[in-house]
Structure 1
Amino acid sequence: MPIRPGDQIVHKAAWLYYTHGLRQDEVARRLDISRASVALYLRKARESGIVTIATSTHLFASDVLARRVEDTYGLAGVWVAPETGPVFEPAIEIPALAASVFLSLAASGQKIGIAWGRTVYSIADVMSYADLQDVTVVQLCGNLGAPYSYRPDQCTMEIARRLNAKGLNFYAPLVLSSERLARELRDEPVIREQLAGVSDCDLALFSVGMVDEDAHVVKCGAMTADEVHALRDRGAAGVIAGQMIDATGELLDCDYNRRVISADFASFRHIPKRMMVVQESAKLDPLKAALAGKFATHLVLSQSMAERLLAEAADAAA
Structure 2
Amino acid sequence: MLSWEDRRLIVKVAMLYYFEGWTQAEIAAKYNVSRPVISKLINSAKKEGIVEIYIKDETFHTVELEQKLIKKFGLKEVIVVSTAGFAPEMAKRQLGKTGASYIANHTNHVEKLGISWGSTLLSLVEEYPYEHKKGTHVVPIVGGMGSEDVHLHSNQLAFNLAQKMNTSCSYLYAPAMVESYELKERLIETKDIAHVLEEAKNVDMAVVGIGNPFKGATMEQIGYLTQEDLTSLRKSGAVGDISSRFYDAVGNELDHPLNQRVIGLDLKDIKAIPEVVGIVEGSYKLESIEAALQGGYLDVLITDDRTAQELVESQTYK
Give the TM-score of the pair, scaled to structure 2.
0.77
Q: State the partner residue of 1:310.
A: 312
CA pair 282-109 structure 1, distance change in 2 beyond 3 A: closer
Q: Is 1:93 aligned to 2:108, yes or no?
A: no
After superposition, the C-alpha distances for 1:15-58 in whole angstroms (9 at most, x for unaligned) are xxxxxxxxxxxxxxxxxxxxxxxxxxxxxxxxxxxxxx997622
**Which whole-Å CA distance do the structure 1 matches of 2:106 and 2:215 have between them?**
34
State the secondary structure of the residue aligned to 1:299: strand
CA pair 56-130 structure 1, distance change in 2 beyond 3 A: farther
After superposition, the C-alpha distances for 1:215-249 in whole angstroms (9 at most, x for unaligned) are 12212222213312321221111111111111111
CA pair 247-144 structure 1, distance change in 2 beyond 3 A: farther
Instruction: Using the TM superposition, give the Cα deviation of residue 119 of structure 1 relative to its aligned residue in structure 2, in angstroms.
Output: 0.3
Q: State the partner residue of 2:65.
A: 65
Instruction: Using the TM superposition, give the Cα deviation of residue 196 of structure 1 relative to its aligned residue in structure 2, in angstroms.
Output: 2.3
Q: How do 1:147-158 residues align onto structure 2 when only pairs under 5 Å count? A: 147-148=148-149, 149-158=151-160
Q: How do 1:20-169 residues align onto structure 2 when only pairs under 5 Å count? A: 57-83=57-83, 87=86, 89-107=90-108, 110-148=111-149, 149-169=151-171
CA pair 133-64 structure 1, distance change in 2 beyond 3 A: same
Instruction: Using the TM superposition, give the Cα deviation of residue 155 of structure 1 relative to its aligned residue in structure 2, in angstroms.
Output: 1.3
**Which whole-Å CA distance do the structure 2 matches of 1:212 and 1:125 have between them?**
26
Q: Alpha carbon RMSD of aligned pairs, Å? A: 2.0
Task: Supply the AA of the counterpart residue of 1:59.
Answer: T
User: Which residue of the other structure, out of 286, 289, 293, is the alignment partner of 2:288?
Assistant: 286
User: Which residue of the other structure, out of 190, 198, 201, is the alignment partner of 2:200?
Assistant: 198
Contact map agreement 2:110 2:205 (CA 8 A) in 1 = no
Task: Supply the AA of the counterpart residue of 2:262.
Answer: V
Contact map agreement 1:202 1:272 (CA 8 A) in 2 = yes
Q: State the partner residue of 1:208.
A: 210
**Which whole-Å CA distance do the structure 1 matches of 2:110 and 2:72 have between them?**
32
Instruction: Using the TM superposition, give the Cα deviation of residue 118 of structure 1 relative to its aligned residue in structure 2, in angstroms.
Output: 0.2
Contact map agreement 2:181 2:261 (CA 8 A) in 1 = yes
Q: Percent identity at matched positions?
A: 25
**Which whole-Å CA distance do the structure 1 matches of 2:134 and 2:222 have between them?**
34
Instruction: Using the TM superposition, give the Cα deviation of residue 212 of structure 1 relative to its aligned residue in structure 2, in angstroms.
Output: 1.9
**Which whole-Å CA distance do the structure 2 matches of 1:144 and 1:219 have between them?**
16
Q: How many residues align?
A: 263
Contact map agreement 1:110 1:134 (CA 8 A) in 2 = yes
Contact map agreement 2:141 2:264 (CA 8 A) in 1 = yes
After superposition, the C-alpha distances for 1:285-305 in whole angstroms (9 at most, x for unaligned) are 111121111111001111111
**Which whole-Å CA distance do the structure 2 matches of 1:285 and 1:144 have between them?**
29
State the secondary structure of the residue aligned to 1:138: strand
Q: State the partner residue of 2:33.
A: none
User: Which residue of the other structure, out of 257, 265, 270, is the alignment partner of 1:268?
Assistant: 270
Give unmatched runs, 5+ long, in structure 2. 1-52
State the secondary structure of the residue aligned to 2:262: coil
**Which whole-Å CA distance do the structure 2 matches of 1:109 and 1:230 have between them?**
39
Task: Supply the AA of the counterpart residue of 1:94.
Answer: L
CA pair 54-191 structure 1, distance change in 2 beyond 3 A: same
After superposition, the C-alpha distances for 1:134-163 in whole angstroms (9 at most, x for unaligned) are 211000101141331212211111111111
After superposition, the C-alpha distances for 1:189-225 in whole angstroms (9 at most, x for unaligned) are 3222322222321111111111126312212222213
Contact map agreement 1:113 1:198 (CA 8 A) in 2 = yes
Task: Supply the AA of the counterpart residue of 1:141.
Answer: V
Moved over 6 A (4+): none
**Which whole-Å CA distance do the structure 2 matches of 1:223 and 1:87 have between them?**
30
**Which whole-Å CA distance do the structure 2 matches of 1:109 and 1:297 have between them?**
15
State the secondary structure of the residue aligned to 2:239: strand
CA pair 93-69 structure 1, distance change in 2 beyond 3 A: same
**Which whole-Å CA distance do the structure 1 matches of 2:178 and 2:317 have between them?**
39
Say which one has the larger Rg: 2
**Which whole-Å CA distance do the structure 2 matches of 1:156 and 1:215 have between them?**
21
Q: State the partner residue of 2:236.
A: 234
Instruction: Using the TM superposition, give the Cα deviation of residue 187 of structure 1 relative to its aligned residue in structure 2, in angstroms.
Output: 1.9
**Which whole-Å CA distance do the structure 2 matches of 1:262 and 1:117 have between them?**
14
**Which whole-Å CA distance do the structure 1 matches of 2:86 and 2:197 have between them?**
43
Give unmatched runs, 5+ long, in structure 1. 1-52
Contact map agreement 2:205 2:277 (CA 8 A) in 1 = yes
